[in-house]
Chains A and B, each alone.
Chain A
Amino acid sequence: MNPNLNLWLIPILPLAGAAINGFLGKRSSRRAVTTIALVFSGAAFAMALWVATRFSSLSLPYQEFFAHWIRSGSFTVDFAFYLDQLTLVMLLVVTGVGFLIHIYSVGYMWDDPSYYRFFSYLNLFMFFMLTLVLAGNYLVMFIGWEGVGLASYLLIGFWFTKDSAASAGKKAFIVNRIGDFGFLIALFLFIKHFGSLDFDRVFNSVAPLGAETAGAGLLTTIGILLMVGACGKSAQIPLYVWLPDAMEGPTPVSALIHAATMVTAGVYMVSRSHMIFERAPIALTVVAIIGTLTAFFAATIGIAQTDIKKVLAYSTVSQLGYMFIACGVGAFSAGIFHLMTHAFFKGLLFLAAGSVIHAVGGEQDMRKMGGLKSYIPWTFLTMGIATLAIAGIPPLAGFWSKDEILWKAYGVSPVYWALGVVTAFITSFYMFRLLFMTFFGDYRGAQVDAHGQVSHGHDAHGHGEPHESPMVMLVPLMILALLSLVGGLVGIGNRFEHFLAPVFVSAAGAADLGSTEAVQGGSHSTELLLMGVSVAVALLGWWLAYFLYYKRPELPQRIADALDGFYEMVVHKYYIDELYAAVFVKPLIDGSTRILWQGVDRNIIDAAVNDAGEGAEQVSDEVRHMQSGNIRSYAGWIAGGSAVIIAFMIWMWMEGR
C-alpha cells in the first residue's frame, strides 16, 4: 500500500501563486510579487524533489484519486493523478527548469510595468503543465494540454500593445487548435472503443491486441490522430509555423514554454501512449517520418536566420524532431532522455540569448552584435557550454541523448539515421555560427544611449556599453550550464533507459521492435562507429562555422550571392507561411467575409431581425388608429366583434346540422 503523497499540492501551489499575484499583484510591490512567485514555484519544485526521494519505496504506478468528474452510465472520468518513472522525470524537469526560469525572470522583467502579470501567467503555466504531466487520464491531461496553450497564448501576447506579438499569440493558439482537433477525435475513439479515458484501463484494453501489421486499423487511426495533436503542441511539420512567431514573447517565456517544457508535451503524450504506438507500425512510421523531416527542414531554415531568437526557435523545432524520431523508432526512453537534456541546454540557450539581448539594449539581430565575449564573459561561457551541448560534443548532455536517438534510429532504418546525422551537422553549424556572430569579431551594434533609443521592442534595457546581466539572471544560467555539462551522464550504461524501462516495458514485446533490439544486441563496434560519425560531423560543423564566420567573415555573403535563389528561399523559410496564408488563411478570411459575414450574417440573420422589427412597426402604425379614445368607437368594435362571433357560431350550427 502506498503512502498518500498529496500530489495535488504540486500543481495547486503554482495556481495559488498565480491567483495571488493575478488578483493582488497590481497593488503589491515588486518585492512581494517576486516573493509570491518564487515561493510557490519553488515549493512545487521542493515537493517534486520530495516525491523523488520517496520514489523508490513506492509501488508503481502510484495513483491518486480526488473526485469523480464525469459519470455517465459505465463511463467515468475522475480527477486522478498518475505517477510513474516517466511522470517523475517530467515533473522534475518542469518544476526544476521552471523554477530556475522564474528566478531569471526576476532580473529580466524587473523594469516591465506589468511585472505582476508576467509572474501570474508564468505560475499559471506551471499549474497547467504540471496537471498535464501528472494527469491520470487523457481528459485531465487535456485540461493541462489546453491550459498550457492558453498560458502560451497569454505570454506570447504579453506585450499585446505590439501588433506582431498579439497576432503571434493568436497564430499559436489557432494552429494549436488544429492539433487539438486530432487529439480530441482520438479521445472520442478511446471512449467509443475502450469505454474509458484512464491510462490504466485504456492500456489494459490495448495490451492484448496484436500489432496492426496488416494495415491501418483502430490503433493506427488513434496513433495518427494523437500525433496530429502532438504536431500542434510540439511544433512539427505541418503545424510548426507558430513556434518561430512565438518568439515575440519575452525571452524567459521562450525559454520555459517554447523550448524546455510546453513544446515537449507532444513527446510526453506520445511516449505516454506508447502502448498504442507500439501496436501501430504505420503510425510509428508516420511519427518517425514527421520527426525526421521536421528535424532536417527546421535545421536548414536555422542556417539563414539572423534573429538570435529565431535561430533558437528553429533549432527547437529541429530538436523536437529528434525526439519524435526517437518515438517513431520505438525508443521512447531515448526521446524522453533528449527531452530532458534539451530542456537543460535549450533553456540555457534561450536564457543566455535573453542575457545577450539584455546586454545590447534589446537588439535581436545578430548582424548588429559581435565581439560580446569580453563584455559579457559569463553569458558567453554558459552559452558556449550550451552550444557545445546541443552540437553533440562529448561529454556534454546533448551528445549522449542525440547519439542514443541516432543509434536507435539506425536500428530501424539507416535513412532516419543519415538525415539525423546531416541534421546534427547543420545543428552544429548554425549554433556555432550564432556563437561566432554574437560573441566573436568586433562589436557591430550602435552604441546604445542611456535611454535605449536604439532599442527595439520592449526587451529594451539600454545602458550605454553592452553590460553583463545581474546575478539573479546569471545564477540560473550557471546552474543550467552545469546541468548541460553533466546532465547527459545519467544516460551512461543505459541507466536512464533502465530507469524508464518499467514504463516502456512492453517496448521489446512489440513485433516491429524486435529487430531494433537484435541490432542493438548485435555489434558494439557499429555503435562506436556511429558515435564517431556524429562527433565528427559536430566537429565539422564547428569548424565550418569557425571558418566562415570567424576566419573569413566575408565568405558567407559571397556564398549566399552564389546560391541566390536557394538562399532567398531558405531566408524566407521555404515560403511556408506564405503558402499557408494563400492556401488556408486567405480563403478562410475571404469566405468568412463574403459568405458568412456579408452573406449569411448580414443578409439572412440581421435582415430577418431587422425586417421583423420594421414589420411590427408598420403594423402597429396602422393598428394604433383603432385606439382613438372615442368610447363609442370602442363600443362599435365590441358590437362588430360580437356580431362576427355570433355569425360564426350560427354558421357552425348550420354546418353541424
Chain B
Amino acid sequence: MVPLSYYLLLSGFLFACGVVGFLIKRNIITIFMSIELMLNGVNLSFVAFAAHWHALAGQVFVFFVMVVAAAEAAVGLAIIIAVYRTRETLNVDQVNLLKL
C-alpha cells in the first residue's frame, strides 16, 4: 500500500509544475496545458483522499472537475483558434489590445 503522503507530494508537484508553466510560458497552448496540469494535480489529491477515507465524494468530485475541464478546453481552444486567425500569433504578450 502506497502511503497517502506520496500521492499528496506528487499532487503538489504536479500543481507546482502547472503554476510555474502558467507563469513563465508565453505560448497560449502551453499555458492551457499548464492549467490542465494544475487541475489534474488537484484531481489526484481528491482521489487519494477518497481512497484513504473510503469516501466516494472525492471521486465524484473528480468527474465534475473533468467535465468542467473538458468544457473549458472546448471553449478555450475555439477562442485560441479565433485569436490565431485574426492575430496570427499564439504569444499572449502580443494579444494585448485591451491593455491601456
B65 at the interface (CB under 8 A from A): no
Q: Assess the B22–A632 pair: CB atoms within 8 A.
A: yes
Task: Provide the residues of chain A in CB contact with B23, threshold 8 Å.
Answer: 632, 635-636, 639
- Give the nearest-CB partner of B31 in chain A: A632
B86 at the interface (CB under 8 A from A): no
B90 at the interface (CB under 8 A from A): no
Task: Provide the residues of chain A in CB contact with B99, threshold 8 Å.
Answer: 629
For A616-657 the 0/1 string (1 means CB < 8 A from B) is 000000000000011110011001000000000000000000
Q: Which one of B19, B22, B24, B100 lies within 8 Å of A629 (CB-CB)?
A: B100
How far is it, in angstroms, between the C-alpha of A631 and the C-alpha of B93 when the chains are bound?
A: 9
Q: How far is the CB of B23 from chain A (nearest CB, A)?
A: 5
Q: How far is the CB of A350 from chain B (nearest CB, A)?
A: 76
For B18-30 the 0/1 string (1 means CB < 8 A from A) is 0100111000000
- A-side interface size class: under 10
Instruction: List 6 tightest A-B contacts by C-beta distance, closest first.
Output: A629-B99, A639-B19, A636-B23, A632-B23, A635-B23, A635-B22
Task: Provide the residues of chain B in CB contact with A636, threshold 8 Å.
Answer: 23
Q: Assess the A629–B96 pair: CB atoms within 8 A.
A: yes
| 1-32 of chain B: CB within 8 A of chain A | 19, 22-24
Task: Provide the residues of chain B in CB contact with A639, threshold 8 Å.
Answer: 19, 23
Residues in chain A within 8 A of chain B (CB atoms): 629-632, 635-636, 639
Interface of A is mostly: helix
Known: A629-B99, A635-B23. 12 other contacts (CB 8 A): A629-B96, A629-B100, A630-B93, A631-B92, A632-B22, A632-B23, A632-B24, A632-B92, A635-B22, A636-B23, A639-B19, A639-B23
Q: How far is the CB of B21 from chain A (nearest CB, A)?
A: 11
Interface of B is mostly: helix
For B74-100 the 0/1 string (1 means CB < 8 A from A) is 000000000000000000110010011
Task: Provide the residues of chain B in CB contact with A630, threshold 8 Å.
Answer: 93
Task: Provide the residues of chain B in CB contact with A635, threshold 8 Å.
Answer: 22-23
How far is it, in angstroms, between the C-alpha of A428 and the C-alpha of B20 when the chains are bound?
A: 108
How far is it, in angstroms, between the C-alpha of A636 and the C-alpha of B22 when the chains are bound?
A: 9
Give me 14 A-to-B residue pairs in the complex whose CB atoms sit less than 8 angstroms apart, sorted by A's number.
A629-B96, A629-B99, A629-B100, A630-B93, A631-B92, A632-B22, A632-B23, A632-B24, A632-B92, A635-B22, A635-B23, A636-B23, A639-B19, A639-B23
How far is it, in angstroms, between the C-alpha of A635 and the C-alpha of B26 when the chains are bound?
A: 13
- Give the nearest-CB partner of B25 in chain A: A632
How far is it, in angstroms, between the C-alpha of A629 and the C-alpha of B92 when the chains are bound?
A: 12
How far is it, in angstroms, between the C-alpha of A635 and the C-alpha of B24 when the chains are bound?
A: 10
How far is it, in angstroms, between the C-alpha of A631 and the C-alpha of B28 when the chains are bound?
A: 12
Task: Provide the residues of chain B in CB contact with A632, threshold 8 Å.
Answer: 22-24, 92
Task: Provide the residues of chain B in CB contact with A629, threshold 8 Å.
Answer: 96, 99-100
- Give the nearest-CB partner of B93 in chain A: A630
Q: Which of A630, A631, A636: most chain B CB closer than 10 A? A: A631
Task: Provide the residues of chain A in CB contact with B100, threshold 8 Å.
Answer: 629
How far is it, in angstroms, between the C-alpha of A629 and the C-alpha of B23 when the chains are bound?
A: 14
How far is it, in angstroms, between the C-alpha of A629 and the C-alpha of B24 when the chains are bound?
A: 16
Q: How far is the CB of A627 from chain B (nearest CB, A)?
A: 10
Q: How far is the CB of A514 from chain B (nearest CB, A)?
A: 96
- Give the nearest-CB partner of A632 in chain B: B23
How far is it, in angstroms, between the C-alpha of A635 and the C-alpha of B92 when the chains are bound?
A: 13
Task: Provide the residues of chain A in CB contact with B22, threshold 8 Å.
Answer: 632, 635
Task: Provide the residues of chain A in CB contact with B96, threshold 8 Å.
Answer: 629
How far is it, in angstroms, between the C-alpha of A639 and the C-alpha of B92 when the chains are bound?
A: 19
- Give the nearest-CB partner of B99 in chain A: A629
Q: How far is the CB of A320 from chain B (nearest CB, A)?
A: 77
- Give the nearest-CB partner of B98 in chain A: A629
For B29-47 the 0/1 string (1 means CB < 8 A from A) is 0000000000000000000
- Give the nearest-CB partner of A628 in chain B: B99
Q: How far is the CB of A634 from chain B (nearest CB, A)?
A: 10
How far is it, in angstroms, between the C-alpha of A42 and the C-alpha of B78 when the chains are bound?
A: 93
How far is it, in angstroms, between the C-alpha of A639 and the C-alpha of B23 when the chains are bound?
A: 9
